[in-house]
Amino acid sequence: MELDINAIKNAELWLNSSVSEEIKAEIKKLRTENPAEFNDAFYKKLSFGTGGLRGIMGIGTNRMNSIVVSQSTQGFANYILQQYKDLEEIKVAVSFDSRNNSKEFSEIVAKVFAANGMKVYLFKDIHPTPLLSFAVRELKCQAGVMLTASHNPKEYNGYKAYWNDGGQLVPPHDEDVIKEVDKITDISQVKIQQDMNNITVLDETFDEIYYKSIENISLATAHLETFKNIRIAYTPLHGTGYKMVPKALANWGFKNVICEPDQSIPDGNFPTCKSPNPEERIALERVLKLAEDNKCDIVLATDPDADREALCVRNAEGEMVLLNGNQTATLLTYYILLRHKELMRLKGKEFVIKTVVTSELIKKIADHYGVKCYDVLTGFKWIAEKVLSLEGKEKYIGGGEESYGYMPSDTVRDKDAVATCCLLAEMAAWAKQQGQTLYDVLLDIYRKYGYYQESLLSVVRKGKTGAEEIEKMMSDFRSNPPEEILGQKVVTIKDYQKKISVDLLTNQTSNLELPESNVLQWFLKDGSKISVRPSGTEPKIKFYFGVRSDFYAGDDFKQLQEKSLDKIEKIRQELGLN
């Protein structure tokens, strides 16, 4: 195979730099023995995007490795120093998950920050992402870094950058950090110390502060008797939740938690599951068997960095059903609002948040309780940004998105599976006390507010031609939107790139008060919603479908579900998505 000219140029930059002779030898060997891998590893630089870094681990400018991590951290440090030049002491927090090399990368990050004169708080061992967000706020840090690739396969690792509010970077910080990172072109520009000077290690005593902080999330006036006898099966999928989730549940009064033993061993190779993604039922096979063997009421699972959680509940036939992210967020919203009302905590300034592609059922429930529901762009950084903008004016009581993430309080400004698992267990105990399962509660919600069925389709288009095809698809949808779908009129079109909403029934146009984003939405007369957006991190375009139907007492739910899924399939076909 012919060597790529850009790969040769990028490799030469490393070969002519001060990187170690060992790394230089690796590069030369790769170039000679595996030209295809050499091209992929060096043909471009791994982008430091608006959320940080994520990529396959290995040698090369397009890989996650010590050089890329150290250079990116120096760029981030330069930006922090610019923004806080008048501050006497700048503090940052650093944490890492169970992935291969995460600990090593975290130590590099800590030593670069420290060499730049910052006080660094480094977690002693693996910790969930929400603990990093919590640490930034609790320790009054100016920034933070979490080494994780979330639920990606074992070959990946990543780097999430946080600002002083405990949320991931938002404008203008995100783009400005990228500019500073891009200025670091040689390892010689990186300041890094070899010792642990100015680095404070955070141990289990810090965890206790977090456990204490999430106690007020509970909406039970006291530990219910069902807290003790509800049976919970849990898996951390070899990740950071292995210790903290069971401990948090025990603190809340849940004594009957059975952990999947093999998957409770942190391991970056994820040996018992092909992909450590709790959104996929195949990843939960072991814990589901554990739940059956022990007659558990619910199953909880968290991804490797314990910011996303999955919930399985028993249906009317006693089978364990994996709820999707919309359903879990719906249950949480309903429980939070119902309990706030019962406890007389609704004072008129409370609000919840969902992303624009998340189920409209959440807004329907919020409207019923007279609570504001704000829409934000996809990604928890926008939820954190909205909470920050309303701080001191309104009270945040919950928010989430369809991709299995929920933020049950503003103590943490990111997805928090540790606290959410506790709230899910409490909700299950509350339902059981009333002689119901969470499946029963979900059906009650559908009967009251309507049945919403969601589905996601990702259309992959790789390479330069793929990117061009995705761009053309968005352009065509924008210039020639459908007037009706399956005989239902499109009544509203929202274009987040143009920042306008068009009511096709009145021809009135209004402004969308959200940052510009390449997202299109079509709302149908029957309450259905179709959202389209290119992925920001992968070569794909995503289609989010949400259809609504009435669901009455006596209706066959499974039939309605099948009918709704069939409707989504027909919408896909009508839009030419096969």
Catalytic residues: 150
User: Which residues touch 221 (CB under 8 Å, ≥6 apart)?
Assistant: 343
Contact 254, 232 (CB under 8 A): yes
Smallest CA-to-CA distance from 560 within 452, 437, 442 is with 452
Residue 60 carries which side chain, given as an amino acid letter? G
Sequence-distant (6+) residues with CB within 8 A of 21 are none
Q: For residue 61, what are the CA distances in angstroms to 53, 71, 110, 373? A: 12, 11, 21, 43
Q: What is the DSSP string of 201-264?
A: EE-HHHHHHHHHHTGGG---SS--HHHHH--EEEE-TTSTHHHHHHHHHHHTT---EEE-TGGG
| DSSP notation for 415-458 | --HHHHHHHHHHHHHHHHHTT--HHHHHHHHHHHH-EEEEEEEE
Cβ contact 219:336 at 8 Å: yes
DSSP calls for 44-75: SPPP-BTTEEEEEBSSSTTSBSHHHHHHHHHH
Distance CA 473, CA 469 (A): 6
Measuring CA to CA, which residue among 546, 547, 521 is closest to residue 532? 521
* Three-state DSSP class for residue 379: coil
In a 10 Å sphere around its CB, with 0-12 CB exposed, 13-18 middle and 19+ buried, how is residue 90 labelled?
buried
Residue showing tokens 């397009």: 62
Residue 172, preceding peptide bond in cis (omega within 30° of 0): yes
Amino acid 430 reads W
Q: What is the DSSP letter of 274?
A: S
**CA–CA separation, 117 and 87 (whole Å):** 12
Distance in angstroms between the alpha carbons of the first and the last residue of the chain: 34
CA–CA separation, 274 and 276 (whole Å): 7
Neighbours of 66 (CB within 10 A): 18
- Which whole-number Å values give the CA distances from 433 to 28, 123, 191, 254, 479, in the listed order? 66, 39, 58, 14, 54
Contact 396, 387 (CB under 8 A): yes
The CA distance from 478 to 495, in Å, is 8
